[in-house]
Structure 1
């Protein structure tokens, strides 16, 4: 029965069908007290989560880039858990940018650092004393991009490399307190279909400065994004419903018109939450209404990425979700949960020992390798 009273805090629960959203529902179903941190507790994702969860699931206003919201959330959680402490903190809040360094806006680098890295550190430090009380665990969502950097992922990958280092150091420091620090490393991205859509691609391409577009050529950007789209969506979750058309078709090059780059110039894995009313001094906290209320799709079936438990073949999203649940619920969890294919595991294992030129050639093979020599060589000649 003690398990029923354990408290879990999860960040990044705004987006429906994301790891954090589904994890909150699964742990709520298993009887944990769940604080689901959302950048905007009035967003559609937060309201959906509240309607699907039980009264043990609380929607918590928690933007990990804002220290005052983190402080208020920590105070509220402490008042709720008392001396029992926090059993698990699961850091899932992140943004994902697709852009080369040459044309990735500085705002995207800064946003990735603020959310993916500093956000994780801020909330971890704020709740560390409560985790020590429970002799619990910290679960950080990393990525294969934190083990192996690829072209077009610099803003995202550098934060995941840093998360790996942060987690390794923290794990050693927490051993004396009996606290686990766990990394979950997916090798794929579950919401690629909804993010890499035609409208988002065109917005991204139109923010590239004209002088860079002239150097690279318009076709380069179109083929680059299409190649990334293919790699992200090559094995999508069968139950994930895209919000717009995936970008697998050839796109027309953007018109060479001047436009002011926006702060979110490149594509995002997580969309910015819908802005609600001004936040109150204390974080907004709402309890879900009933565990029997489910969100229904137009087809009449519950929405989400979870498959029936009896299904033998899990989707990619469910494999990551299973690893997250295991990291939270297992009395002796693994240090790392790598969720990917055998080929992915072999590549990450061989990367440190294989000559760099060989690995670079492998990582840039495929559609991108056909684009670069043809277009860049023409410019140099």
Structure 2
């Protein structure tokens, strides 16, 4: 906490002095030793004094007592701050820099016929100091509300990120449960006919579940393309055990893939949809699954002939959840095209890295 406050103090100091020096330098038309000294005194020394007055306004009056509506302490800090710093500035000006801070010019005395230097009186200086204090108080309020806006914006961004993370985790959980139900149904079908492939199917399912469980819910997490393709291949092998027709699926994955990463479990719902609602046991009408990628994007396609058999009522959330996950994870960086005819279903997903 202390380090944070000191860091804030010095950050404000640097910003304040840059503004004050910049404003004073912009008013100069001639750069001489005298004018530079003038700027260093007014912007440097008295700018630092003004900053201290501003910081006390900001740190206590505006940030502490104003939000708490403690008007007595607020008034005491404001009035005390203005009086003390006005007296201090006048003492510095009178004792050290009268020519720079108090000198107004000269008047000609007719009696003595001499020029008499004219200086700002204490009353005049104090009234000017009241205006300076008012401006510094307004600056403290402006900075307070600007910082409050920044903090609120940061908080909203964090809440949005947490919301997106929670939604992504929930959608992924729905996808996992949907997949698990369909996979168990597939293994159950194998067991009903006494297939010896049940053991292999159970082993593959265990690998798939292990992969899913090990994926964190962090919306920013990415896995390698090779890991996701290995998962897809295990899923396809599990499904072909159920259909008993390996020729009913054609897998065309690009051999050489870039070393890129992708959000996990985004591709399997398209394959699952093809096995669920398509013809997967006829070699003449195979499910075609293709993937290609380069340094710019990845393109994933699934094409299958539509089955005329009755569709089960389990699931139906896979592709809709994929749409939502894509909006959360790849907003503005993906293109999903789904085309459905009377006989064919085609999905194409393009994701930019």
TM-score (norm 2): 0.19
Structure with more of its chain in helix, by fraction = 2
